[in-house]
Amino acid sequence: MARAPVLPVLLCLAVLALAGGADARRKMVGVYELKRGDFSVKMTNWGATIMSILVPDSKGNLADVVLGKDTLAEYVTDNSAFGPLNGRVAQRMARSRFVLDGKVYHTYINDGRNSIHGGHRGFSKVIWTVKEYVAGDDSPYITLYYRSFDGEQGRKNDLDVYATYQLTGPYELSIRTNATALNKATPVNFLQHVYLNLGGEGSGDILGHTLQLSASRYTPMDEELLPSSGRVDPVAGTNYDFRTPTPIGARIRKVKGGKVYGYDINYVIDWEGMRKVAVARDGKSGRALELWANQPAIQLYTGNFLNHTQAKGGKLYEQYDGFCLETQAYPDAVNHPEFPSVTVRPGQVYKHDMLYKFSF
């Protein structure tokens, strides 16, 4: 197996200080490409962020199906969560607090009265160490590492985190993450926050995409997008039912994600283990995506808050120009003992695997 030299596109910066600490300042931020034929994925070790996925359509025309930015500097300053791995506790946490083993912990508030995606300096705002980068192979991959320290953003316990991104087959991107609690119990919930448009980023809205979810239940959200009731309700007979292929836009004006129209809702995935959780398709291009994962839940977000958002190539993204399929644990599970636990204890290993299978 040929091991490619790491030749990142370097970002020199004062911005490295954002990651904090002398060790972080000695790290370099780069862009790394995984390529297999005409299928390619570009990512950066800033926030373990997927920057682009290039996929052909039914006529062989290539397009980038991931929304994002043009430069590394823009990703560093971006607050739109274009493509990063979010953690240590992704999604919203009510009142930015939780109780673990009888002790109350407070985290950083960055979403109204609550925290979201790990606080203002979650995993999306740190420099990950490139442990291994193999480009010249049939299954190219990159493995990233981050040590989340005790007390970071109010979370307790040192946590060792690894994330491997690999092209495991024709038009297949595998993401394998794991985290080990080293000395104290801690809540853990990761998600990859990729905005997708199978027609190609910047090609318009995704309302005509069809979507099917392997989910017969969902967790109703309040206006703060928290599952405050703790209920898990059936989707049957509601506007949240995607058990059969349905255009995303078919009922989008009948639902609200908080105070705006659109989906920003958590579904409970049927069955357990590594299984197919979603299928999305764009009829115009012929591109389709199957998403497989081993997590209990998935958040559907339809880009409700995109609004003249600076995009690649000088374009602007508007509402519904992309959608996210975020496999995850139940949101705010730290404050809901009725939900499956997200606590990882010393010596235990958290694992979150995803597989993106594209076709055309």
The reply to whether 350 sits in an annotated binding site is no
Residues 42, 51 contacting (CB under 8 angstroms): yes
Among residues 117, 193, 209, 352, which one is catalytic?
A: 193
Residue of 311, 3, 257, 18 lying closest to 248 (CA atoms): 257
Task: Flag whether 282 is marked binding.
Answer: no
Q: What is the rounded CA–CA span in Å between residue 136 and residue 34?
A: 9
117 is in an annotated binding site: no
Q: Given 33, 152, 201, 326, which residue is catalytic? A: 326
DSSP assignment of 51-72:
EEEEEE-TTS-EEE-B---SSH
Exposed, middle or buried, 127 (CB in 10 Å: 0-12/13-18/19+)?
A: buried
Identify the DSSP state of 114: B
Lookup: tokens for 12: 């020199």
Map residue 32 onto helix, strand or coil: strand
Q: Which residue, among 217, 222, 275, has the nearest Cα to 242 in the 3D structure?
A: 217
137 is in an annotated binding site: no
C-alpha–C-alpha distance, residues 43 and 144, integer Å: 11
Is 193 annotated as catalytic? yes
Among all residues, which ones are annotated catalytic? 193, 326
- Residue set of the binding site for beta-D-galactose: 193-195, 264
